[in-house]
Structure 1
């Protein structure tokens, strides 16, 4: 045990140490999904201060909502619109057809890792905003609207209620091959998007598997997963669209539980200047407050972090290459802690390391908000 304590919550940040071809079966095209049924739920959603949220949770087992909060409020979609882009590509392509291997690679990357290049490819080939118009008609979407700037697919206006309709179509009406392709990729979501953003927030960070997610983010300059350079936020001309294009947004949508029991849609917008780690933490806290039938929250204790580019290591030392890095200032789940290599980040010194089960690795306790070297209430590994 060292006398020097770990980093405290209110302390200022220090420079982070370096430790730290598919054949789709012939299935008749189904009728468009009708309006979502079920009584309005009394929400338990806990929305963090400054956050604007739109939430819907639909229990497929009972056919009812367990959560609805601003469910018809419009948000810019960011990458969630990639669901519509994929469905439009797959729609009514004939009684028997193949997805060319090049397209399968693009679709996989777009749905698993939120690849923007693939989305732009299909957006251009499919007629831009006409994709949204077609899918609105096919799925009986109510408040989904194509972007005014046809070059910006991420400016499509979407709502939590319409997102539930999209997933209900996928789960209950889509041809089996289409459902398996799209949801199979969502269940195989990668931690890092191809643009270098950590996309396991919201649903993915709040519940044990099984889950499948399509996430969205826009307006942040950095999001962990180091290798990619920062992507500056896009600013649109004032007065061009109905949805807010100024505030950064972070969205988590998908299914949770055995048999995809619950459909969850959580849309959030944040004050200008909010960091990715802060938004990541806020949407996680909001999602964990929801009543999601079939969901299991992981065991452990949540702690805040400080500094940037904090490394997650395979073991409690700095000898092996990092598995990934944390978004700056994000909350992390800790299941246990152990002593390992002594780490020095002057004036702090600590040989305790926390195991993060959702990352499959360790971080030095120096970067966790705690009054001592050991984390209170956390067992040893």
Structure 2
């Protein structure tokens, strides 16, 4: 039995000696893998280099919280290069207004008084007039959310045509909005980015809660394709991602230009009014023109997020 105990003792001694020998790889520190967020073993130190001493890892510094979409830092300067925005619409014209309803001021204003044909943006005025006259909610909401031209034409004719524009321009105080030269072509109403911004401010701050709710429900429920099959998520919807939006889009062609407009309210509590109007060459397709409008809205995002 004594021989057995001797053999066991020798084995245990050898194992203990092995455990006391440090491994060169085991002394390499753990480093953070920035790409994956996991801990990985660092490469071995080159010959002659001293290995860092082991010890408790330093406490990680807390990262600043990310900017909440639609919430800017009050007073923080935001750089938006207006010249770069104009270059996003080659061969065309672009006007921009971004209004902060909390600060009650324009954050961005690019060619705000340039005149454009309205395309379907005039439907907001048609909706205001129709709701005031007692038109059914369903008709007004479909006209807005699906940009239904047939409904717009019917309501335009029923409620006085060009006089709708005149009435509401006077009531809201629109300085650059004019009825179309051809009274039957409501989409040829003349508008400016400044006036479209004023229309949204009127809807958000002055109309009765019932009318506001009907209009804003329609705009927040805008369908991806309009009643005519044109995709209407260019501009604000495609550019803003998870930021809440309610939009009225406009598009038309080809009476001298291809018109593509995006407009609406963006952000938590409908904080920002965003208007981007464009007039593009008729050779531009709806798809490529829409991408240009989306790029213009993306360029505005620093003003909407404070980033």
**Correspondence for 1:290:** 300
Count of residues in correspondence between the two structures: 225
- 1:124 correspondence with 2:157: yes
Tell me the SS of whatever aligns to 1:53: strand
**Correspondence for 2:81:** 44
What is the distance in 2 between the residues matched to 1:146 and 1:42? Answer: 36
Is the contact made by 1:217 and 1:250 (CA closer than 8 Å) also made in structure 2? yes
Mapping 1:286-325, distance limit 5 Å: 286-291=296-301, 293-295=303-305
Is the contact made by 2:261 and 2:277 (CA closer than 8 Å) also made in structure 1? yes
Change (3 A) 1:191 1:84: same
Change (3 A) 1:267 1:292: farther
Change (3 A) 1:111 1:191: same
Tell me the SS of whatever aligns to 1:289: helix
Tell me by how many angstroms 1:105 deviates. 2.4
Tell me by how many angstroms 1:294 deviates. 4.2
**Correspondence for 1:60:** 101
- 1:197 correspondence with 2:230: yes
Is the contact made by 1:59 and 1:293 (CA closer than 8 Å) also made in structure 2? no
**Correspondence for 2:14:** none
Mark the runs of 5 or more structure 1 residues left unpaired by the alignment: 1-40, 94-98, 220-232, 236-245, 298-381
Tell me by how many angstroms 1:42 deviates. 8.1
- The structure 2 residue matched to 1:82, chosen from 107, 123, 128, is 123
**Correspondence for 1:187:** 220
- The structure 2 residue matched to 1:212, chosen from 246, 259, 262, is 246
What is the distance in 2 between the residues matched to 1:264 and 1:288? Answer: 12
Greater strand share, 1 or 2?
1
TM-score, normalised via structure 2 length:
0.70
What is the distance in 2 between the residues matched to 1:104 and 1:180? Answer: 10
Mark the runs of 5 or more structure 2 residues left unpaired by the alignment: 1-77
What is the distance in 1 between the residues matched to 2:289 and 2:209? Answer: 36
Change (3 A) 1:129 1:168: same
Tell me the SS of whatever aligns to 2:281: coil
Change (3 A) 1:145 1:292: farther
Change (3 A) 1:116 1:166: same
**Correspondence for 1:71:** 112
- The structure 1 residue matched to 2:283, chosen from 273, 295, 302, is 273
What is the distance in 2 between the residues matched to 1:42 and 1:138? Answer: 35
Change (3 A) 1:296 1:115: farther
What is the distance in 2 between the residues matched to 1:139 and 1:59? Answer: 19
TM-score, normalised via structure 1 length:
0.57
Over aligned residues, Cα RMSD in angstroms? 1.9
- 1:159 correspondence with 2:181: no
Structure label with greater radius of gyration:
2
Greater helix share, 1 or 2?
2
**Correspondence for 1:145:** 178
Is the contact made by 2:130 and 2:140 (CA closer than 8 Å) also made in structure 1? no
Tell me by how many angstroms 1:248 deviates. 0.6
